Each structure stands twice: as C-alpha cells, then as structure tokens.
Amino acid sequence: MAVRALSFILLLVLCCGPAAACFGPKLYVGVPAGGSSDLLFALVTLYVQEKTGVESLRVDLAPDVDPLSELAADRLDLVLVEGDGANDHPGRIFSVDGYPVVVAGSRPLDELQFTTVVPAVRKLETLVTPQDIAALLVRVDEGASAMAAVRRLMMTRRWI
C-alpha cells in the first residue's frame, strides 16, 4: 500500500512539474495612450519574449496617471515615459531619440528571475535607430498591426 501511494505521488510530481514550469514570470508594462507607445511596447516586449522567454502583460495607463509614480509604488515593472526627464532616470534601460523612454522598476533590476531582461533590452537599444521606428510607424499607419510590423523587422534583420 505504501509503495503504491509513493508511486502515485512520484507520478504526480513528475507529470505536474514540467507543466508548472510553462507558466513563468511576467512583466507588467505600463503603456500611456496614443503616440508611438503601442509600437515601442511591441518592440520591447517581443524582443524580451524571444530572447529571454519572459512574457509581458500590457497595462494601459490613464492620461492622468504618472508612470514613474506607478513604477516607484511597484505596481509596474517597466513603463514607457515621454519627456526629457526620463532619460536621466536611474532605471532607464531603453531610449531612442524622439520617442518614449523605457524605465525599469525594482523587479527587473533586482530579482533573479528577471536577470536576462535588462541586458536584452539594452542590447535592443543598440540595434534600433530612430529611422527604424519611423519606418515601423509608417507601416502601422498603413494598416499593419504594431506587433506584426515589429516581428517582420526583427525577423528580416535576424534579431529573433
């Protein structure tokens, strides 16, 4: 009887363990309304998912919400911030001239499960130019989804 119970427990552990590993950590990304924020969200999150396996959840921010205060309160992991002051923020991990800046909160910077996220985003920063983003925005204006336009660019350039 004990051997049968032990075998059953072992079977449960071996079967359920790999399935539980499929549901990893997720980043909560604050995205302000309008502008190029949709495109930058697609650009950063697709690259992070492909390079690190970490998924991202979009959190739409109301116009009256300050993204940096949400980040400081640990309600978000990454935020897209417009304005000149964001470039000087110590958590700045991605910026392209003329477009919103990506700022990281404490989880991506400090937690072990996200150790590959910040280096991946910083690598992306070295790859992307303002002309790339402008070309992507043209494709989106022509009717392509932001994610499809970004994926096509990344695959064409063999970034993913």
Per residue in 19-40, pLDDT tens?
Answer: 545 567 899 999 998 889 999 9
pLDDT of residue 9: 60
As a whole number of angstroms, the distance between CA 126 and CA 135 comes to 17
Contacts of 72 (CB under 8 A, 6+ apart): 105
Pick from 107, 85, 116: nearest CA to 28: 107
Residue 70 located in a structural domain: yes
pLDDT of residue 156: 97
Regions in the chain scoring below 70 on pLDDT: 1-23
Residue 17 located in a structural domain: no
CA 99 → CA 14, 24, 31, 56, 155, distances in Å?
47, 30, 13, 20, 22
Residue 117 located in a structural domain: yes
Given CA atoms 8, 10, 11, 16 in this order, what sign does their dihedral have?
positive
Query: Domain range for residue 48?
Result: 25-156
pLDDT of residue 5: 57
Residue 20 located in a structural domain: no
As a whole number of angstroms, the distance between CA 154 and CA 160 comes to 6
Residue 34 located in a structural domain: yes
pLDDT of residue 10: 56
pLDDT of residue 13: 57
Residue 11 located in a structural domain: no
Annotate 86-155 with three-state secondary structure.
HHHCCCEEECCCCCCEEEECHHHHHCHHHCCHHHHHHHHHHHCCHHHHHHHHHHHHCCCCHHHHHHHHHH
Residue 8 located in a structural domain: no
> Which CATH number do you get for residue 147?
3.40.190.10
| β partners of residue 26 | 55
As a whole number of angstroms, the distance between CA 121 and CA 110 comes to 15
Q: pLDDT digits over 39-65, tens only?
A: 999 999 999 999 999 999 999 999 999
As a whole number of angstroms, the distance between CA 34 and CA 18 comes to 40
Residue 10 located in a structural domain: no
Mapped onto helix, strand or coil, the DSSP state of residue 61 is: strand
pLDDT of residue 105: 96
Domain tally for the chain?
A: 1
Q: How far, in whole angstroms, is CA 67 from its chain's centroid?
A: 15
